[in-house]
């Protein structure tokens, strides 16, 4: 995948499990304040969920070209990273 200059990044996919929900919410507010369009793929509340689903949804948005970047937040980080890298 080519590296895009930050000026060409317009849309960012953002996902989290319940452990990363609050951090994801803060990241979303920050990115939107900087003018980015954020595609929030969930989760949408702090109820226990399986992180691979949201890592997959985030990675698919980037792999399809719909988003130029993706950010996944979970309780530890390693599991979501592994799941996203399989896409």
Per-domain residue ranges of the chain: 6-84
pLDDT of residue 2: 57
- The whole-angstrom separation of Cα 48 and Cα 30 is 25
Task: Sort residue 6 into left (φ over 0), alpha (ψ -120 to 50) or beta.
Answer: alpha
What pTM value is reported for the model?
0.87
Query: What are the tens digits of pLDDT across the range 9-50?
Result: 899 999 999 999 999 999 999 999 999 999 999 999 999 998
Cβ neighbors of 72 (< 8 A, separation 6 or more) are: 14, 15, 16, 20, 51, 54, 55, 58, 59, 80, 81, 84
pLDDT of residue 3: 60
Which ranges in 1-87 belong to alpha helices (H)? 21-33, 51-63, 78-84
Q: According to CATH, what is the number of the domain 6-84?
A: 3.40.1400.10
């Amino acid at each position: 995948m080519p590296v895009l200059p930050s000026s060409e990044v317009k849309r960012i996919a953002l996902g989290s499990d319940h452990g990363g929900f609050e951090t994801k919410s803060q990241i979303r507010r920050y990115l939107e304040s900087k003018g980015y369009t954020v595609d929030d793929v969930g989760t949408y509340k702090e109820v226990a969920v399986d992180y691979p689903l949201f890592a997959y949804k985030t990675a698919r948005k980037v792999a399809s070209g719909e988003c130029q970047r993706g950010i996944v937040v979970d309780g530890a980080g390693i599991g979501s990273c592994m799941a996203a890298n399989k896409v």
